[in-house]
Structures are given as C-alpha cells and as structure tokens.
Amino acid sequence: MPTRRRFLVQLSALVASTGFWQSVHAQRLTIQPNGFPHPAPRPGITAALVLAESDLPDRRRVRQAYAAARAHPELFDGIFCSCRCDTSMEHRSLLSCFESRQPIGCMACREEAELVARMARDGKPLDEIRRAVDEEFGD
C-alpha cells in the first residue's frame, strides 16, 4: 500500500504532466503520429491580411491559391505548411504564408493550398483535410 507522501508525489507529477501536455496541445495539434504539427486555428481569424489580387503577379495558379486562402482562412490557419517556413520565416500556419509573398515563388505552398481548397469545396472538415495534407506532403 503506497504511503500518503508517495501518493501525493505521484499525483502532483500526473497533474503537472497533464497541464504541460494540455498547453502543448493548445498550441499544436497533430492528427497522425507521423503527421505535421498542425496549429490550432485562431477563433475569429479572417483573411484581412492575405495579399490582395492586385498585389499578385498575373499567374493563374498563384492567384487561385491566394483566392483560396481568402475564401477559407479558418481552414488555412489550422494547417501546417509543408515547406517548413515555420522556422525560416516564422509562419504559424499555411494562412501566414498567404499573408506574405512566400507562395508566389513556393510551389509547396500553392499545391497545399490547392488541396485544402478542393477539400473545402467538397465540404471536408479540418481534421480530414489535415490527414490528407499529412499523407500528401509528409515525409
């Protein structure tokens, strides 16, 4: 039979570890064990910072990708960008890419946006889109 002290130490460790993992989970949510660390979408996020069409080159796929980000900011904000610009450019999500000029020259950003847009048009939920991104663009 455990002592009261041992019980309290174990309980404290359990509570502390649960709090730690809850804070990690609130910042990043990974759907699959080998999937990307997808960020939690921010409540009330909008496309207000996505570059306007007038700021883009006259390239159909570039404009379509930016239009998709403007149409679905809540989904783009919950998707990790597979080009790994989270470290090089400090982007928190795929939406962050489209708030910059990064996707103009980055095919990975555009292709991921095309996948998200296609699945959004089909009415797929965020968790299913995340799994598809992980399968299509993961290591």
Backbone φ, ψ for residue 99 (5° rounding) = -90, 5
Q: Model pTM?
A: 0.75
How many Cα atoms occupy the beta-carbon half-sphere of 27 within 13 Å? Answer: 6
pLDDT score of 12: 52
> Tell me, what amino acid is at 65?
A
pLDDT band at 85 (very low <50, low <70, confident <90, very high): confident
Q: In the block, which residue shows the tokens 């991104």?
A: 133
Strands (E), 24-94: 28-29, 38-39
Q: In the block, which residue shows the tokens 């699945």?
A: 119
pLDDT band at 15 (very low <50, low <70, confident <90, very high): very low
pLDDT digits (tens, 9 = 90+) for 34-65: 688 999 999 999 999 999 999 999 999 999 99
